[in-house]
Structure 1
Amino acid sequence: MELLDALQLHSLQQARVVAGSQGLHRTIRWVHIVDLPDPLPWVQSGDFLLTTGYSWPREEAEQRNLIYGLAKQGLTGVGLAVPRFFDQFPTAACLAAAELNFPLIEIPWEIPFNTITEEIHNSILAQHYKFQEQSVYIHNELLRVALEATSLQDITSTLGRLIARTVIIQHTDGPLLADYMHADEGNQVSMQTAEHEVLPKELYTQVEDKRYLTTLRSSTQPLRVSAIPENSIPARLICPIHIKRELVGLLWIVEGESPIGELDIRAVQYASIVMALHISQQRALASLEAQMGYSFLDSLLEGHFNPTPQALRRSEVLGFNSEGVYSVGMIVLNSQVPMSREGILKREQLAEHLKRRLYELQTPAVLSFTQNQIFFLLPDQFPVGEMWATINAPDVSLAVSRPYRGFEKVQQSYKEVCSIMPHLVFGQFHYYEDLLVARILMGDKEARSSFFEKLFGPLRGIKNGDILIKTMLAAARSGFHLKNTAEELRIHPKTLRYRLDRAITIGGFDFGNTETQFNLQLAARILALEDVHFL
């Protein structure tokens, strides 16, 4: 208990604080009665010393030295019975105690020391019993939620309600995993987090210091971080969440109107263990789901998918539609093959980051690995740019195939991204179509076939489609001069206009677009130079 609370007890209501009143919040561990000339060997930190003053020194210098020694020993304070051997605390002792904020208390002589001792000790024991009772209750509640929780949020909310504080669970990379905002008046952390749905940068700036991170990674003990008054950020307590020796998260509690105490520390230590167990269980489940996902995705990439009812149900569980439109994404790490241990760890970290980003964008996160490559499916119209913005690194590249409908086309998408692997630039992301021209100029026959298929595919499957293709190639050769094109084909200009309009309607061509003009002229040049019988 604190010395200030002890002064409210019946036995000390007539006591008077004569010096060091700013130190009344010191904690009393025990009450000790010593009337020896040199009490220092008989007392220890946390003791509240009671004395009659019988053996106290009379010289001012010795009185000051005794106060300095008792304060240095870590005593809570000194109670002197007056008036008998001293009418009051000596002035020299009071001046020294005031300098050190060391409480000196005058107690009426008629109050027995054993009454004070008994009352304070009973109060201390009662507080200890209450503390243990609360600690056991919190422990049992956390054990209960460990069995019933369906998410990390459930555990976080339970902990926050039990200790009546703001609780935040943060991934080691920075993002929030769960939070409970306690309605403390003036709690800037709660208000900022609730408003922006992210942890205020100022809250964990100090933790990014390597010394803090090293401490958190190597210790299971909570770490106290001081307040930042200029940013209205209160003091915080951070408890690392470990699975074996791996730091998997940070558990924060934020100091509100009352200071963080021993009960809070015990509570977060219990909670960190429960959260570690929950995360470990979720990892095991995720591992089973991932194995199922790997098998599913690998069968699509290799073209071995068998659309049995069971396989289709599995794909639905994973979040995929057998008739959906998908592209294959490929992330390539600039890592030596075969990969080193460091390379494999980096690939796993990148894969975890990719999964979180896909989940955030409400997309199934099923990955497959091959050495330094990570493959995954992306639904049509997926915001690749948004995903790449969070992955972008100088030693990573992202490639995305063209979209195709149905699972049977996934293998074709896979072949497309694999085909452009030699042309990828690290630090950039590429669509398959973006690299077609470059690959054609380098003599890539597969790229040439894809280029022609993309350009003329919609026309090849219709009646007289070959005539429409010849007409567009002739227009490209003539620089899209309609009179010259009609003369080359020996057709009437109205017939030419009819053919071009039909090609525009069916194939979606835009002759006013410079890229369309370039692609048609490139196709005409390739066919002319190589004497390729495309049609």
Structure 2
Amino acid sequence: MKFFDALQLPSLQQARIAAGAEGLHRTIRWVSIVDLPDPLSCVSSGDLLLTTGYGWPRDEKKLLDLIIELNACGLAGLGLAVPEYFTNMPLTVCRVADELHFPIIEIPWEIQFNTITEEILSSILTYQYNIQEQSEFVHQELMRIALDANDLQEIAVTLGKLIKRPVIIQHPEGPILASYNMNKDGLEEEEQLFHQEMISFRKEQVQHIPLRSHSRPIRIPAVPESGLPARLLCPISIKKELAGLLWIIEGQQPLREVDQRAAQTASIVMALHISQQRALASLEAQLGYSFLDSLLESQFNTTPQILRRAELLGFDPEGIYSVGTIIMNSSVPLSREGIIKRERLADKLKLRMQELKIPTVLSLTQNQLLFLIPESVLSEDIWKSMKDINLSFAVSLPYRGFTNVRQGYKEVSSILPHISFGQLHRYQDLLVPRVLMGDHDARSSFLGKLFDPLQRSRNGDVLISTLLTFARMGFQLKKTADELNIHPKTLRYRLDRAISLGNFDLNEAETQFHLQLAVRIFSLENARI
């Protein structure tokens, strides 16, 4: 029991705190009654020493040395009966005890030490019984939630309610996975403040926690300047791998032993839950890999079963998607370390996709991570959290439906030889440089991207020929009309229709360059203009 709790017992209510009031949080584990001149051999750490002072030195220097040695032994404190042999504890001794935070109380002579001992030991036994009873209840509740919980949030809420403390579960990379605070009115501000520190809490600090301590809670002191209270960190580990961090906010009241036991049990429950979720995620990932591989490799038949699987994975057959590829700067075939790194990278990507509410439809192949990006999501939002000097991100044009997604896969595959690590590459951004380098596939893609809308329209060939001639004639109307042997009004009509269908801006320098480049491509391929 705590020293300040012992002072509430009937036998000690008349006792006076002579020194060391700041040490009253010390824990009393036993009571020793010793009147010998040298009591050191008769006491142990956590003892409350009761004495009449009969055999104690009267010399203040010797008495001072004795108090220092008793504190060094880890005693909970000292109870001195007064005023028979000592009227009170000398003032010089009390000053040193205050500096040491070593509690000294003066007990009226008429109070029996046996009474004090009986009350304290009885309270300790009662406390231990209550701890055991509470621990058993907490253990049973956590075991129940281990079987019933759908996610980490339910476990966090259950733990928080049991110990009546704010609880936060954090991913080792930083994101908050679940949280609970019993005071809803003050939750948002406190969690925001706490989350800010989590951002600055360096990952390497977590990695430096010795593996042997992963099963033990670690107390993090308060940070008064930022208003952060003391916290208890309980690492969640699976086979010596750090899988998460369980934080319990201590607040104004110190954590009880039962709270720490609950934290340890909860961390085991969370580890089991994460293991189970990983197993399910692995199964889902295999289904996702199979689905995406079939989709990208032209082995896809749109049967009702396939459509149902696509729906379960979150893929919309009528949706518009780009194909994204994250490439690791690693030689292939991957080493064991490379495979582990790829799996961690995939986990990080899945987490980001979940944050952006993107269906986690992805596949792994050698040093690449392939996945689908809905039209509503910016590729920059993905790259922002994945960016690394040893990674590259390639993104195709957006396409609708099952079959067209394969074209996106071909596009990202075609630009892989041209990528630079540490950068985001869009297919359309690399198209012109590849054309200039003589890439035949890039030429076809470039011309298709430029003229497909016109090609699909009535008299599209005429419109394309008109545009190319207009570019070859330096974008001069009279020269173009003369070259085509048509009236200028007819030329203007064709150009207006081409502009409308192809969304061209013929006054823009880049558009003019693309059309002139198309002229050169057709010339090289001996096409008729």
Equivalent in the alignment of 2:152: 152
Matches within 5 A, 1:391-402: 391-402=386-397
1:203–1:261 Cα change, 3 Å: farther
Q: Distance in 2 between matches of 1:410 and 1:435?
A: 19
1:517–1:70 Cα change, 3 Å: same
- State yes or no: 1:141 paired with 2:141: yes
Equivalent in the alignment of 2:464: 469
Name the aligned partner's letter for residue 85 of structure 1: Y
Matches within 5 A, 1:418-497: 418-497=413-492
Equivalent in the alignment of 2:293: 298
Name the aligned partner's letter for residue 336 of structure 2: R
Name the aligned partner's letter for residue 484 of structure 2: L
Choose from 490, 494, 501 the match for 2:496. 501
Matches within 5 A, 1:50-449: 50-90=50-90, 93-183=93-183, 190-192=187-189, 194=191, 196=192, 199-202=194-197, 205=200, 207-208=201-202, 210=204, 213-215=207-209, 217-220=211-214, 221-449=216-444
What is the Cα deviation at residue 212 of structure 1? 5.1
Name the aligned partner's letter for residue 142 of structure 2: L
Equivalent in the alignment of 1:43: 43
SS of equivalent to 2:394:
strand
Larger mean CA deviation between 400-409 and 341-350 belongs to: 341-350
What is the Cα deviation at residue 6 of structure 1? 1.5
1:35–1:286 Cα change, 3 Å: same
Larger mean CA deviation between 477-486 and 22-31 belongs to: 22-31
CA contact (8 A) 2:315 2:361 kept: no
Q: When the two structures are superposed, what TM-score results if normalisation uses the length of structure 1?
A: 0.94
CA contact (8 A) 1:300 1:407 kept: yes
SS of equivalent to 2:475:
coil
What is the Cα deviation at residue 360 of structure 1? 1.5
What is the Cα deviation at residue 35 of structure 1? 2.1
Larger mean CA deviation between 76-85 and 310-319 belongs to: 76-85
Q: Distance in 1 between matches of 2:194 and 2:12?
A: 47
1:469–1:96 Cα change, 3 Å: closer
Name the aligned partner's letter for residue 57 of structure 2: P
SS of equivalent to 1:134:
helix
1:211–1:508 Cα change, 3 Å: closer
The count of residues paired between Structure 1 and Structure 2 equals: 528
Larger mean CA deviation between 56-65 and 409-418 belongs to: 56-65
Q: Distance in 1 between matches of 2:272 and 2:206?
A: 24
Q: Structure 1, residues 184-220: CA drift from partner, whole Å, max 9, x if none?
A: 99x7xx44355x5x84333564x52845531155522
SS of equivalent to 1:425:
coil
Larger mean CA deviation between 73-82 and 153-162 belongs to: 73-82
What is the Cα deviation at residue 528 of structure 1? 1.9
1:116–1:362 Cα change, 3 Å: same
Name the aligned partner's letter for residue 172 of structure 1: P
Q: Distance in 1 between matches of 2:98 and 2:450?
A: 90
- State yes or no: 1:6 paired with 2:3: no
1:364–1:214 Cα change, 3 Å: same
Larger mean CA deviation between 262-271 and 483-492 belongs to: 262-271
Q: Distance in 1 between matches of 2:108 and 2:190?
A: 54
Larger mean CA deviation between 279-288 and 133-142 belongs to: 133-142
SS of equivalent to 1:256:
coil
CA contact (8 A) 1:458 1:507 kept: yes
SS of equivalent to 1:420:
helix
SS of equivalent to 2:251:
coil
Name the aligned partner's letter for residue 274 of structure 2: I
1:420–1:39 Cα change, 3 Å: same
Q: Distance in 2 between matches of 1:53 and 1:267?
A: 43
Name the aligned partner's letter for residue 46 of structure 2: G
1:46–1:443 Cα change, 3 Å: same
1:503–1:87 Cα change, 3 Å: closer
Q: Distance in 1 between matches of 2:322 and 2:294?
A: 15
1:312–1:191 Cα change, 3 Å: closer
SS of equivalent to 2:209:
helix
Q: Distance in 2 between matches of 1:256 and 1:199?
A: 12
SS of equivalent to 2:105:
strand
1:193–1:357 Cα change, 3 Å: farther
Q: Structure 1, residues 333-392: CA drift from partner, whole Å, max 9, x if none?
A: 111122223322222222112111112211111211121111111222431111111112
Larger mean CA deviation between 11-20 and 35-44 belongs to: 11-20
SS of equivalent to 1:417:
helix
Name the aligned partner's letter for residue 133 of structure 2: E
Larger mean CA deviation between 376-385 and 34-43 belongs to: 376-385
Q: Structure 1, residues 236-266: CA drift from partner, whole Å, max 9, x if none?
A: 1111000111101111111212012322211
Q: When the two structures are superposed, what TM-score results if normalisation uses the length of structure 2?
A: 0.95
Q: Structure 1, residues 144-195: CA drift from partner, whole Å, max 9, x if none?
A: 111111111111111111112111111111111111124299x7xx44355x
1:361–1:4 Cα change, 3 Å: closer
Larger mean CA deviation between 488-497 and 407-416 belongs to: 407-416
SS of equivalent to 2:302:
coil
Q: Distance in 1 between matches of 2:425 and 2:439?
A: 17
Larger mean CA deviation between 87-96 and 59-68 belongs to: 87-96
What is the Cα deviation at residue 93 of structure 1? 4.3
Q: Distance in 1 between matches of 2:485 and 2:475?
A: 16
Q: Distance in 1 between matches of 2:526 and 2:87?
A: 120
Q: Structure 1, residues 272-322: CA drift from partner, whole Å, max 9, x if none?
A: 111111111111111111010011000011100111111110010001122
The gaps in structure 2 that reach 5 residues or longer are none
Q: Structure 1, residues 119-168: CA drift from partner, whole Å, max 9, x if none?
A: 11111111111111111111111111111111111111111111121111
The gaps in structure 1 that reach 5 residues or longer are none
CA contact (8 A) 2:37 2:57 kept: yes
1:503–1:101 Cα change, 3 Å: closer
1:18–1:393 Cα change, 3 Å: closer
Q: Distance in 2 between matches of 1:106 and 1:21?
A: 13
What percent identity do the matched residue pairs reach? 59
Larger mean CA deviation between 65-74 and 465-474 belongs to: 65-74
Q: Distance in 1 between matches of 2:184 and 2:434?
A: 62
Q: Distance in 1 between matches of 2:231 and 2:62?
A: 42
Q: Distance in 2 between matches of 1:21 and 1:193?
A: 31
Q: How big is the alpha-carbon RMSD for the aligned residues of Structure 1 and Structure 2? A: 2.1
Q: Distance in 2 between matches of 1:402 and 1:108?
A: 88
